[in-house]
Amino acid sequence: MEWTVREAAALILSNKNVSPHLSPSAFIGPPDVTLHVTGTSLEVSIKDPVFKQSELRETYTSATYNITYWKSSSKEEVETMSDMMQDRVVLSDLDPLSEYCVQVQIITNMNPRPSEYSDVVCERTGDVDAAPWVAAVVAFVVMATVVALVVTLVVYWKQISKFLCPEVVLPPHFKESLLLNDPNSIYPVSLPSEHCDHVSIVADHRTEEEGGCSTQPDTSQDGG
């Protein structure tokens, strides 16, 4: 028994794929899984568990991932992607507007015990496929259009303002008619002012004697 233990320890220390600080059968916790939606595809982002003494890749350099996913409405149809070494994997050819669930497990050649399964993570796919560069191009075009409009507005502001608010110019014949007419006629008509003259009235009360004039008809000429 003692020889077996020493031989196993020597084998572990001589193997470059396993850290001498951990046993080959050490417990491996579950990975952390995050899903990102890109159209009808799901990108699986995997984060390894952290050991107290070292990182997972420092301990097991040949660790791989087994990714299991299924449609939430039909759990009988389960798909598996085995021996994946990338920590970012894209699940493509999925049904649009459907919810899919994903679980990941870590497998190592030197450890007969795989890691615990990650928590089940579910996400709904989009309507149509949309590559990330398409969104970037659309955003660039929108920004370029806005900048071009602002520059055009600043450079041609005078012309634009004249176009939107043109100056009113009177026709020459209309100007001439205004100059020929009485300037006062262009103002509102006002009531004429009244001018009053002072008049003195004296009554005449003189009699015939006082006046020295006779009002009788002259008959002297008729007798002669």
**pLDDT band (50, 70, 90) for residue 193:** low
Lowest mean pLDDT among 2-11, 65-74, 139-148: 2-11
Whether 94 maps to a domain, the answer reads: yes
Averaged pLDDT, 133-156: 86
* Claim to verify: residue 14 and residue 119 sit in the same structural domain: yes
| pLDDT > 70? residue 17 | no
* Claim to verify: residue 69 and residue 136 sit in the same structural domain: no
Whether 79 maps to a domain, the answer reads: yes
Averaged pLDDT, 142-171: 82
pLDDT for 6 equals 39
Residues near 33 by Cβ (< 8 Å), separated by ≥ 6? 44, 45, 46, 47, 102, 103, 104, 118, 119, 121
Dihedral angle over CA of 117, 119, 125, 131, nearest 10: -70
What six digits make up the tokens of 214? 């006779």
pLDDT for 99 equals 95
pLDDT for 136 equals 80
| pLDDT > 80? residue 14 | no
Number of domains the chain contains: 2
pLDDT for 201 equals 72
Boundary residue ending a domain (86, 101, 124) = 124
Whether 207 maps to a domain, the answer reads: no
pLDDT for 55 equals 74
pLDDT for 42 equals 95
Dihedral angle over CA of 168, 172, 175, 176, nearest 10: 180
* Claim to verify: residue 86 and residue 169 sit in the same structural domain: no
Nearest Cα residue to 31 out of 136, 122, 106: 106
| pLDDT > 80? residue 3 | no
pLDDT for 61 equals 78
Distance CA 144, CA 151 (A): 11
| pLDDT > 70? residue 206 | no
Choose between 35 and 2: higher pLDDT: 35
Boundary residue ending a domain (73, 108, 124) = 124
Write out the DSSP string of the chain. Answer: -HHHHHHHHHHHHH-TTB-TTS-TT----PPEEEEEEETTEEEEEEE--B-SSSBHHHHBTT-EEEEEEEETTEEEEEEEEEEE--SEEEE-SPPTT-EEEEEEEEE-SS-SSPPPPPPPEEEE--SS---HHHHHHHHHHHHHHHHHHHHHHHHTHHHHHHHHSPPP---HHHHHHHHHS-GGGGSPP-PPPP-------------HHHHT---S---HHHH-
pLDDT for 152 equals 87
Residue 41, burial from CB neighbour count under 10 angstroms (0-12, 13-18, 19+): middle
* Claim to verify: residue 112 and residue 152 sit in the same structural domain: no
Predicted TM-score (pTM) of the model is 0.48
* Claim to verify: residue 68 and residue 36 sit in the same structural domain: yes
If you search the block for the tokens 């001589």, which residue do you land on?
14
What is the sign of the dihedral through the CA atoms of 72, 118, 111 and 67?
positive
* Claim to verify: residue 23 and residue 81 sit in the same structural domain: yes
* Claim to verify: residue 93 and residue 39 sit in the same structural domain: yes
Distance CA 118, CA 32 (A): 6
* Claim to verify: residue 27 and residue 49 sit in the same structural domain: yes
**pLDDT band (50, 70, 90) for residue 110:** confident
Most confident listed range (52-56, 86-90, 107-111, 205-209): 86-90
* Claim to verify: residue 113 and residue 138 sit in the same structural domain: no
CATH of the domain at 21: 2.60.40.10
pLDDT for 51 equals 73
Whether 220 maps to a domain, the answer reads: no
Whether 158 maps to a domain, the answer reads: yes
At 166-181, the pLDDT tens digits run 776 667 766 666 666 6
* Claim to verify: residue 85 and residue 138 sit in the same structural domain: no
Nearest Cα residue to 24 out of 112, 106, 107: 112
Residue 44 domain boundaries: 2-124
Averaged pLDDT, 80-101: 93
* Claim to verify: residue 22 and residue 120 sit in the same structural domain: yes
Lowest mean pLDDT among 33-42, 119-128, 167-176: 167-176
* Claim to verify: residue 74 and residue 165 sit in the same structural domain: no
